[in-house]
Structure formats: C-alpha cells, structure tokens
Amino acid sequence: MAYPEGNRTWQIIHNAKKGGYGVGGFCVYNTEGVLAVIKAAERCRSPALIQFFPWSMHFQGPAFIKFAAEAAHAASVPIAVHLDHCLKPSDADMALECAFDSIMVDGSMFEEEENIRYVKSVVDRAREKNMTVEAELGRMEGGEDGLPTVDLESVWTDPGRAAEFVKQTGVHFLAPSFGNVHGPYPPGGAEKHWQLDRLEKIHEALGEATPLVLHGTHPLSDEMVKVGMAKGMVKVNQNRNVRNGYHKYLEENCSMVELTTLQVQGVEEYAKGVERLMVEVLGSSGRA
C-alpha cells in the first residue's frame, strides 16, 4: 500500500476520524505499561497507540522499542508505537533507526521558519522508513515525566498558518496550541483557558486531511476531552490519568507481595484505567 496510507498509525487515526471516535495515545515508561495498553485494547476491541518519550530510547534502548513494537503488532487489534515530543534533532536521527510506526517532531522551541525546516527534514527521511510524523505548531507550556520542562511562554497556533504549515512540512498529524498545557493547568483549568473558537478555526482550516492531536490532558475532566473531540481532536494523548490505579496499587503493595504478583496485578490495574477511557470517553471500544 502507498505511503502514508500503508502506515499503521495513519490507518488507526484516519479510521478514528472517519468513524467519529477518538483514539488514545498512551504514554508508557515500562513493560507493564506496554502490556497494560495491549491488554486493555484487546479486551475492549479498541485501536490504540503506545507512546514513548525519547527518554526510553536512551534509558531502555532501541531493543526495548523493538520489543514493544513486536508485541503491539502481534495484538489482535490495531496498535501502533509512537514517539512523543522528539525535541532534539539527534533524537529524531535515533528515532528513525528504531521500530516506531510514527514520531512526533517537536520544534516548538524554534522560530517558525526553523521549525518548518526541522519538521520537513524529518518527514522527508521518515517517508523512506514508512513512518508518519506529528508536529506541534505554536508552543505549549509545561512538561511531563520524561520530558524537560519548557521554560518558554505559550505561543498559540494561528489558524491562518495551520494549512500552510502542513503543506510546507508534509506533516501527517498536527498538535495545536490553543490554551492547553502540559502538566497542571492554571486556576480555572482547561474550562477557562482553552480557546475553543481558535481550535474550531484550526480544524476548519485543515479539513479532513490532517487529524488533530490533543496534548495537555492532565488533569482534564472527561467532559473536556469530549469537548476537544467535538472540536476536531482525534488522537488524545494520555499519561498520568490512566495510571492512577496502577500507582495506588504499587504504593500499597510493593513490600507486601511477590514481584511476580506485583507485576501481574499492576498490569491489571493499569489496564483498567486505559479501558475506562476507551469505553467511557473516547468511544473507541468495539471499533476494532
């Protein structure tokens, strides 16, 4: 199949866009996270994306990414493996040699013209690897575990530039900045700070060809995720929200049970958080 239609991430996200549901991009840090997303997706008959930060490439290494990709691709439902927030060109070089289905190129710390050059250079090389590319236009504040905190002011995405940015870079998915932030929101939360009119205009400018990606979902109510989806978001990134039960179980049992039990039950608790989102929020359950 031709590029990018033959790419696993492209298929998962475009099927979700056509079907009117969201697909979760679940950030994981260990084997338990990989297994939990696969278990949840298979039980819910839902597509999913397993996401890593560049931290995993360096700490766990390319062999771990290969393991995750092989496990994901062996699942009975469509699951892709994605690299989130590739900030450094050297990390992009490394990612292109790993087993990712797709990568997010984050040039938001650059001025727009340099961002365009950076993203386009990665897209051109990713094509040769049958990888698709997500990019951020504008800049979101904050940081996440495994990512450096961006100590720069937010730059909101200009709806009038969105389509041209996609055309100039060849990027396949766009992560807009419209008041969303990584990590805790300022007082008033997303309800106060999201510029929904801006998001709606970005969606209108891009049309059906370029799906939107929601970043900045912690903490975020189920209702606000649904609002974002109604305004055009298709890929919905998740990190801490789906891990709360897993963390609680580890805190309460890490010195009480054998390591094998801790891992098996930890995966189960982790999977429950992923399943809840698939069923109650994204609407992806039963779509695979």
Helices (H), the chain: 8-19, 31-44, 54-59, 62-73, 89-95, 112-128, 159-169, 189-193, 196-206, 222-230, 244-253, 259-277
From the candidates 84, 91, 101, 158, which is the catalytic residue?
A: 84
The DSSP output letter for 204 is H
How high is the pLDDT of residue 92?
96
pLDDT at residue 143 above 60?
Answer: no
Tell which wins on pLDDT, 139 or 157.
157
Cα-Cα-Cα-Cα dihedral of 55, 58, 64, 70, to 10°?
70
Binding site feature residues for Zn(2+): 85, 106, 136, 182, 215
Closest C-alpha among 61, 65, 95, 59 to residue 80: 65
Q: State pLDDT tens for residues 73-90.
A: 999 999 999 999 998 999
pLDDT at residue 148 above 80?
Answer: no
Mean pLDDT value of segment 5-24: 98
The structural domains of the chain, ordered by start, are 8-282 (3.20.20.70)
Pick from 92-101, 214-223, 246-255: least confident: 214-223
How high is the pLDDT of residue 127?
97
Pairing status of strand 212-214 against strand 79-86: unpaired
Banded pLDDT at 141 (limits 50, 70, 90): low
Banded pLDDT at 150 (limits 50, 70, 90): low
How high is the pLDDT of residue 110?
86
How high is the pLDDT of residue 107?
86
pLDDT at residue 157 above 90?
Answer: yes
Mean pLDDT value of segment 151-157: 71
How high is the pLDDT of residue 218?
84
Q: State pLDDT tens for residues 105-119.
A: 988 888 888 999 999
Rounded-to-5 percentages of helix, strand, coil across the chain: 50, 15, 35
84 as an active site residue: the answer is yes
Tell which wins on pLDDT, 204 or 144.
204
Percent of the chain with pLDDT over 70: 95
Percent of the chain with pLDDT over 90: 82
pLDDT at residue 145 above 60?
Answer: no
Over the chain, what is the mean pLDDT?
Answer: 94
Mean pLDDT value of segment 58-83: 99
